[in-house]
Structure 1
């Protein structure tokens, strides 16, 4: 077997592991709108963060092959609490409130921010944060604030570019290059950027495999 054939075989095995994990039952187990409500859970966690309306709920639904597991909305700021989903008894997926914009009071936004920050900094079972970024717009200051906080807390995170089907090849190439260049300077950032489209199914299998590698 050549080295190339061996790599292809290993990649196929990883994709199959991801498929099998995400084919299992995924159920809502807890929602936390306050610090006191944060649950003490036994399994590893993968959190999904991103600006409001970046497509977090759509991506979670695409990964789990469900249409309504995570609520989707055209109204930014719909997710107003941390939502925990158990996947096949091996992992928790955590949908975080969107940052950067919400049509609510300033005090409520500040309360959400404290809740998310506390969760990200003090969660021993949190294996990785998937930070979703709209491929049409690239990193924004609100994303960089989250990244700096994760760097300081030494929490591993990975940039997931969403809606890549809506960008041209040249635009996407530029965004990838700029993003990877910035990530190279950040200590807790995973070097590889994932390209996804929930609508077209782009990158979903590969992201499932990546997440499966972090499960119990």
Structure 2
């Protein structure tokens, strides 16, 4: 058996055209569109939506800001559970980004947590223009028990999702490789999981170009 380090799992190589398309896709004037705490408050379905899910404080808002190049577009907070609505961002009618409430911990009453948990379930099951959910996982910790119910729901709802490791600049390379490999192995039995793991670090910008290219590829496939 080889003693060499486990090689990190990386997404399929993106072509220069896809990298360019990703830059162009996000190099526009992104704006806040709407905040919805109920299904009735959701904006009308139009174009393609991609959503960002993950445990509280995993870096969803930071990733949205890095992708769009707009610091402060999505509000970040040191308080887990601050995002309590589905937050929509748009740069026209072709693509919308959706920042979902964090799960696993929230600084809010249980009744409120239950209400927005049900909102998430209803959104995932009933949003026909939802093309993919990007499930963010902290690269320092990997998958946790609190991630399982969301992955189960996505599998049951047949909603395509792809895992994105965040804060990848913080663990050591060997630790990142091990977490990436373990995550990839855990997803092999998941029916709705899109193959390949995206690895990002919003603070340094690592992997952001590839993430944009992944969305551009998705947009091309959704035509």
Query: RMSD in angstroms over aligned alpha carbons?
Result: 1.4
Which residue in the other structure is 2:63 paired with? 59
1:16-61 CA-partner distances (Å, limit 9, x unpaired):
0000110011111111011221222211100000000000000000
Q: Deviations over 1:149-188 (max 9, x none)?
A: 0001100000000001000111111101110011111010
Q: CA deviation at 1:214?
A: 2.5
Provide structure 1 residue ranges, at least 5 long, that are not aligned to the other structure: 1-6
* Pairing partner for 2:170 from 166, 174, 180: 166
Runs of 4+ aligned residues of structure 1 deviating over 2 Å after TM superposition are: 213-216
| 3-state SS of paired residue (2:33) | strand
Whether 2:85 is the aligned partner of 1:81: answer: yes
Q: Matches of 1:187 and 1:88 in 2, distance apart?
A: 32
In 2, Cα distance between equivalents of 1:67 and 1:124:
30
For 1:40 and 1:128, how far apart are their aligned partners in 2? 18
Tell me, in whole angstroms, the C-alpha distance in 1 between the residues paired with 2:208 and 2:94: 19
User: Displacement, 1:78?
Assistant: 1.1
- Is the counterpart of residue 200 in structure 1 residue 204 in structure 2? yes
The Cα of 1:88 is off from its aligned counterpart by 4.0
Count how many residue pairs are aligned between Structure 1 and Structure 2: 209
8 Å CA contact retained: 2:87, 2:100: yes
TM-score by length of 2: 0.91
CA contact (8 A) 1:44 1:214 kept: no
Structure 1 residue 90 corresponds to structure 2 residue 94: yes
The aligned counterpart of 1:191 is: 195
Q: Is the 8 A contact 2:46 2:93 kept in 1?
A: no
Query: What's the CA shift string for 1:52-105, capped at 9, x where partnerless?
Result: 000000000000001011000101011110011113432000000001100111
1:190-211 per-position Cα deviation (integer Å, ceiling 9, x unaligned) = 1201100000101000000111
